């Protein structure tokens, strides 16, 4: 089972990138999950944006400073998650709420 807040590598043609699962547990039982990708590019700028949530290297299993790009929400196939690399980490409840708030900012909704 895949749970909200879990971080995995998404296999992609351009290379693997970490994603944070944001969809509800009951929705993750099918073939797809909803996730927010993370990037380390332009960390200094993006870490200050209301639509991004910053993470520092070592936090929740991230190996580099990066941000969750909450304006870029993906429906991904479970088959595209690289389970061979294992679970990177899991966000705590407060940080998962921060990701939800950043998604709410993007869609102009007061999400908690």
Question: Residue 61's Cα: distance from chain center in Å?
Answer: 12
**What is the number of structural domains in the chain?**
1
Q: What is the CATH number of the domain that holds 65?
A: 2.30.30.110
Residue 88 confidence (pLDDT): 96
Residues 49-108 pLDDT 10s? 999 999 999 999 999 999 999 999 999 999 999 999 999 999 999 999 999 999 999 999
Is residue 50 situated within a structural domain? Answer: yes
Is residue 112 situated within a structural domain? Answer: no
Residue 71 confidence (pLDDT): 96
Is residue 91 situated within a structural domain? Answer: yes
Range of the domain at 35: 6-106
Is residue 111 situated within a structural domain? Answer: no
Residue 16 confidence (pLDDT): 84
Is residue 1 situated within a structural domain? Answer: no
């Amino acid at each position: 089972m895949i749970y909200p807040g879990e971080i995995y590598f998404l296999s992609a043609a351009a290379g693997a990138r970490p994603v944070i699962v944001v969809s509800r547990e009951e929705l993750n039982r099918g073939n797809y999950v909803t996730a927010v990708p993370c990037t380390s590019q332009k960390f200094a700028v993006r870490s200050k944006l209301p639509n991004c949530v910053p993470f520092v290297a070592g936090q929740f299993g991230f190996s580099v400073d990066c941000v969750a790009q909450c304006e870029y929400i993906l429906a991904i196939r479970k088959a595209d998650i690289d389970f061979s690399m294992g679970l990177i980490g899991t966000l705590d409840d407060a940080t998962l709420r921060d990701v939800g708030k950043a998604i709410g900012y993007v869609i102009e909704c007061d999400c908690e």
